[in-house]
Structures are given as C-alpha cells and as structure tokens.
Amino acid sequence: MDAYERITRNAAEVVTEEEIEALADDPDGKRAYVGYEPSGVLHIGHMLTANKLIDLQDAGFEVTVLLADVHAYLNDKGSFEEIRHTAERMRDQFIAYGLDESNTQFVLGSDFQLDDDYTLDLHSLELETTLARAERAMAEITSGDSVKVSQAVYPLMQALDIPYLGVDLAIGGMEQRKVHMLARDVLPSIDREPPTSLHTPLIADLGTGRGKMSSSTGVTISMEDSREDIESKVNDAYCPPTADPEPTDDGESRENPVLQVFEYHVFPRFETVVVERPEEYGGDLEYGTYDGLEADLESGELHPADAKGALAAYLDRLIAPGREQLAE
Ligand code: IYR
C-alpha cells in the first residue's frame, strides 16, 4: 500500500484529494492532528479516528492528539477540574490502544487557547463569521437544545487550533466536516492557510443499524466493557445477512453495524481475521480482506452468529490493553 492509499483508506471524505496527494509525496515533517473533547472513557468512536492516526503514523506523519478541555467546557461537559482529570485518563488509554507513544504529542487545549495572541485571533474570526454560519457548523456536535454563545465560539476555536498547532492535516469524524469547511472559509481572512482535512465514516448504532453510534444514546462499545459486556452487546447487534439492509418501515436508512465494525476497526488492525467454527459447520474461515468476509455473509457461507462471535473476540483483543490500564 503506498502512502496515499494508507492515508485515505477507509476515509469517508478528503478535502481535497490534491492536497492529500501533495502531503503523501512530502517525505518528512508532515503533521496531522485530531481533537477530542475529554469524555468519560474511550469508546469505539474515538477508536475509529485513532485507527486513522495509526495509519498516518505508518505513512510518516507526526501525530498530535488535542485533548480539547476548553471545548468540552464550552460544550457543557462539566467543571474545568473534572474535564482536566478525564483528559489525563484518556491520554493513557490512547497509548494503551496502540498509538505510538514516541511519535504522538498530546496537547491540552488550555495549554495554548488562553494565550493573548490566540484570543485576539479568535476575536478577529468572530468578527468575520455570522452567528448563523457558526451555528450550522455545530449542528452535529452540540448536545443542548437552546443555542448558547459558547456554541458559536467553539467552531471558531476549532478552526484556529489548526494554525496554532502548526499541523498540515485535520482529522475528524464526518460530524466535524462543517467545522472544517468553516475553517477553510474563515482562516484566510486572518492570513492563515485554508486547512486540509480527512473525515472518517460514522458507524451506525450497534443495536439497530440506524443513525450514529454514540455513547450517550443507544449501544456502543467502550474501553470499560468486560469481555462479557462485549459479547452480549455484539450478540444483540443488528446483523442482517447483507451490507445493504432495507430501510425501516418509516423510511430511515439502515446499515449493518457488525460489518462496519469489521471494516473500520478489525481489518485495519489485524492482517487476517479468523472466524472459528466447529468442523461440523464447515470449520474455521480465514479472511485477509474485509471484502471476502462481506461476500461470505451475503452468500450465506458465513452465518451472522459466527460473524458476531468472531467480532466480539477481536474487539476484546483491541480493548483489553486499555481495560487493564483502567483497572490500575
Ligand atoms: N469537535 C470535536 C473536538 C475538537 C476537535 C478538534 I479537530 C479541535 O481542534 C477542537 C475540538 C468533538 O466533537 O469532539
């Protein structure tokens, strides 16, 4: 796999392809970052962007993880003290998950976002951006019903983080794309480059295949889950024998979350995936690529129950190091 392929594999969107190509060809000194609001515990959503960071490290990037304490505060996630404490725990969990510690820089938002220059640049961006535009950028990130001033400041700070961290590439889930588009539009107004970004796909709710998997609603997998928790959640997961399930009766589209987790979490981290089966059911199946597994599920060669058994075992292998860390 060449650098461009590794950078872009499993991405839902890159902005823009030409800019990423130029980065792929750049031999050294390239830097990427992702920011996370510190939240209780690492979950499968964080792990999706973390997988991309691991790809980027393999493709020669230096990686920065921004533990966005000020952003979490602006998004009403608790007191500053609590958020800071959570940020420290998250750092350890990311390392346990597999980020290369010697090549990952962890930065707290409050380390630079409270400096005078940053604040003045932020005010310049406030002057350049309509409230409506900022609000639109936040539609998929905020939790509360009524819009607060903090929610207008939040995406402008996220935009400003990019030049302040000196990174070439911003990573995020698809829910971050409008913030990155806002950043492309407004940063030139304060003489900063429009940033390049890459967005990872959203995984559907494990239980229903609808919408977006999230820790606040529905079923997700986190670093706190025991092997039994994982087995029971995966066992109850929605898994029709197809990658393209029918929409619900009320017209809502559905995905196959079991396949999505195989595609975006398991295959990027394991060279081969073995589905164990007793001899009488045809014996073990071995896959080198996601496509082979999908094809077998579609053809009926692989039963959803066997796919789920293997998924739970691989997820457990991914999560075990972080779980052990949490227990310390
Ligand atoms: N908006 C992100 C958190 C975040 C991301 C970046 I990239 C930043 O520069 C700052 C904050 C979230 O929803 O978790």
Domain boundary among 153, 184, 200: 200
For residue 104, give the H/E element and its range.
strand 104-108
Residues 181 and 233 both lie in one domain:
no
Residues 235 and 187 both lie in one domain:
no
Residues composing the chain: 328
Residues 186 and 245 both lie in one domain:
no
pLDDT at 134: 96
> What is the tens place of the pLDDT at every residue in 106-124?
999 999 999 999 999 999 9
CATH of the domain at 252: 1.10.240.10
Residues 13 and 89 both lie in one domain:
yes
Residues 259 and 125 both lie in one domain:
no
Q: What is the ipTM of this complex?
A: 0.97
- CA of residue 311 to ligand 1 center, whole Å: 29
Domain membership of residue 214 (yes or no) is no
Residues 238 and 196 both lie in one domain:
no
- CA of residue 179 to ligand 1 center, whole Å: 9
Domain membership of residue 34 (yes or no) is yes
Residues 184 and 256 both lie in one domain:
no
Domain membership of residue 220 (yes or no) is no
Residues 31 and 113 both lie in one domain:
yes
Domain count, the chain: 2
Which residue ranges in the chain fall short of pLDDT 70?
A: 143-144, 215-216
pLDDT at 215: 65
Domain membership of residue 208 (yes or no) is no
Domain membership of residue 213 (yes or no) is no
C-alpha angle 7-111-187 in degrees, rounded to nearest 5: 55
Domain membership of residue 121 (yes or no) is yes
Residues 303 and 155 both lie in one domain:
no
Q: Is the distance from the beta carbon of residue 35 to the nearest atom of ligand 1 less than 6 Å?
A: yes
Ligand 1 atom, smallest distance to 175 CA? 13
Q: Is the distance from the beta carbon of residue 168 to the nearest atom of ligand 1 less than 6 Å?
A: no
Residue 161 assigned to a binding site: yes
CATH of the domain at 175: 3.40.50.620
Residues 136 and 99 both lie in one domain:
yes
Ligand 1 atom, smallest distance to 162 CA? 9
Residues 274-277: contacts with CB within 8 Å, 24+ apart?
Answer: 274/310, 275/302, 275/306, 275/307, 275/309, 275/310, 276/306, 276/309, 276/310, 276/313, 277/306
Residues 156 and 62 both lie in one domain:
yes
Q: Are 200 and 231 a contacting pair, CB within 8 Å? A: no
- State the residue range of the domain holding 314: 227-327
Domain membership of residue 217 (yes or no) is no
Q: Is the distance from the beta carbon of residue 312 to the nearest atom of ligand 1 less than 6 Å?
A: no
Cα–Cα distance, 174 to 124 (Å, whole number): 27
pLDDT at 327: 80
The C-alpha R_g of the chain, in whole angstroms, comes to 20
Find residue 36's DSSP bridge partners.
Answer: 67
Q: Are 199 and 11 a contacting pair, CB within 8 Å? A: yes
Residues 14 and 144 both lie in one domain:
yes
